Structure 1
């Protein structure tokens, strides 16, 4: 690491370990150092046990107690767990292989290849919709803004900006044929999703606790309701449905859906950053949007159900 960063890195045992919960000391070995002038605490783990969600909580505990940059160090890390850690915002070090500490603007992964340009806050809603449309193979011939706009319920200008976002992340490239701009993804199917996973964002903007007949509004099943229909997860107490945030006001008035207190609600309405009907022709929202919503859920049962969604896709 020192050779890569062109500075001497002196690592020593962390002297403040006694100020941390005792289980941290039993689970990890802690070190301290300075990297690029910043105090850093290295939380070392010899194996890859423990879920990314648990590790993220432990890293947050150390960060809160030390007010330092905190990074996980491990000898091995699977591609799946790497994506989950990045999604949780957990810095990590794999000696001789990978170094990811966004607090210090360091992102050197896959044998220190030059990192692609990433958007700090993930894909835009329109870009994520275009990406999911491609992976779900809804229509491989839709590669221009004008064709995708009608299907995905966006303007052609918004789809053009989504193309720019996807090109900036390195996931795709565009070429012109005459006056038309076409998008071409550099991967397909599971490899494309794997590459895009750190950039995915939950489509859910807000939750509305509602009384009324959501079925009469012909909304898509969503949330844990949809997840339970598609996996082995138990059904929730009340059903969830999804609607584009921009459509909520009109639909709530038309279908007489009234917001109320949680205990009085007979359904939950999720307002989404994009139209849930654009990616699904079934009664439920699409599986990739569900995966983006629940892949890092704090309840491990829900996170595992989200992973199961991918296994059921016809890759």
Structure 2
């Protein structure tokens, strides 16, 4: 049974997230003169004289890759895609000739091949084209982060919030009857991700495909009440993310892609850390970023780690 503390906090944080998200994104767009409708593919290219010859980089994925509420926005407003997300930083590091960033907040595996219905604070905001539209036979590099929304992990994390230290752990609800519902949701991502990876290979047969995992969100035992989730639930949620990363690693190996672990290098940079040290924001962000998402420092470090995997150095 939900305590009044949990219920009130959930409502407050959700309201703040919706309001802050819509207001901040709209404000940034107006301040920078961004024209979201004119950049559905968010394509940018470096100078042909200085760019890596023939390198065509396409970034696919969800909000972990798109960087919601990190300045500055680009592309469809409701995709909450930042020019300081890890794909943009990686493209700069690689000095690619052509760069297409079609990452979009809220995306799941079906949005790779189908239009994604967009909304801001529950208000319809058009749709984004299938992300696979950005792929082509000449694509040389693809990065992908997807699966968290298929498993519903953010919603599960929100349901575990509480300021009541005597509250019943949400883990008990999700493992009632000896069945781990969250583990089942995560495992169900495997065939969907397999299909996505096969689809990428079909559309971009010569591309190097890199699957970037999800980072470390909260340290072992949590840090209640700084992050309002009980210690046992913090560990349960971390185990779910670890399980998803395991699915991503396994499917990558089975379908000709490379997996980059971002969780292990994130130790000491989770949402429990002080501003400036953390790469992931908590339930109430202390830096420009969406709740339970990477901040700009996190996106920069993810790009650094992916770049090191690709051989660009750290």
Asked whether the two chains share a fold, i.e. TM above 0.5, the reply is no
- Hey, which of these two has a bigger chunk of strand by percent? 1
Q: TM-score, normalised by structure 1?
A: 0.29
Structure (1 or 2) with the larger CA radius of gyration: 1
Asked which structure has the greater RCO (Cα within 8 Å, sep 6+), the reply is: 2
